[in-house]
Amino acid sequence: MTVMTRRLGRSDLQVSALGLGCWAIGGAMAAGDQQLGYAGVDDDLAVQGLHRAVELGITLFDTADAYGAGHSERLLGTVLADHPDVLVATKFGNTIDESTRQLTGIDTSPAYVRQALHASLRRLGRDRIDLYQLHTPDVDDARAAELVNTLEELATEGLIRWYGISTDDPGRAEIFAAGPRCTAVQLQLNVLDENPEMLAVCERHDLAALCRSPLAMGLLGGQYTSTSRLPADDIRGRQPEWLRWFIDGSPAPDFLERLEAVRHILTADGRTPAQGALAWIWAHHPQTVPLPGFRNPAQVAENAGALDHGPLSRSQHRDVETILDRLPAGV
């Protein structure tokens, strides 16, 4: 089985061009009364999905200590114990209470970074993290530079291989990019949300662009309509300020309209809407690695099926950009 691959930024690591995001399988988590997890998650189905992903050639899994307040990492650890060649990316910065599944604050001090790293290593059952990422990028420049120094020390000690940052702030990404073993930026990118400034940073510094929310938290899967309503215990049921694709549990009408306008292109050549949305990302920039979420083996198989189709053609990508009125003037 041959799976499309991409180089992970500056590193010598080749990864499947599709990774999988493990936020959803973490299940319940919250900050106070704000739900930040996904409802209706079944651990058995999640584990089956992880096994299926490995069978289909997925070699990069992205998680965080915050996802399910440690639960996502533990699930990954149970499956990947027999697959040391599969790469794990995780994140730090949030303080968590595993017993209540609460995010209790933010700590990016060097001492806490080390504490969080060792806790993640225990949950994952690994001796080293392949890619360690800052999850809470709202730090000042001095703290960002201090974090780079700390992460370089952890890499020298062999506790991590490479590091990165999850952010849509080009300035913060530039500070991390100055670190020799920074190799990735996790940024928001999907067919409804361009991110040209962040992609430019990745291009300048030869960093992998790991794409979070590549399916707009499920909206681009094409299953939701104007009458869909998600439960209150789902993050999309009462969304935090930054979540734009759903409003009080229903898809945002303007995003639904934009999806419908390009659906015929995304589903060309036998693709599902989700597969077409992933194919757009690969066509959009050569350094991208989308990280769609999943909760069961069927979703894993559909996402992985995008690899069989590959990127949209240049003409298909151009047609999407034309319909969404995103082509530069004069092109």
Q: So which residues are the catalytic ones?
A: 67
In angstroms, the CA 12 to CA 24 distance is 29
In angstroms, the CA 266 to CA 280 distance is 8
In angstroms, the CA 187 to CA 147 distance is 19
Sort 329 into a burial class: Cβ within 10 Å, 0-12 / 13-18 / 19+.
exposed
Q: Are 41 and 235 in contact (CB under 8 A)?
A: no
Torsional class of 304: left (φ above 0), alpha (ψ -120 to 50), beta (otherwise): alpha
In angstroms, the CA 54 to CA 61 distance is 10
Q: Cα dihedral sign for 257, 212, 327, 319?
A: negative
Name residue, tokens 């809470």. Answer: 136
The two structure tokens encoding residue 240: 């935090």
In angstroms, the CA 65 to CA 104 distance is 12
Q: Are 127 and 77 in contact (CB under 8 A)?
A: no
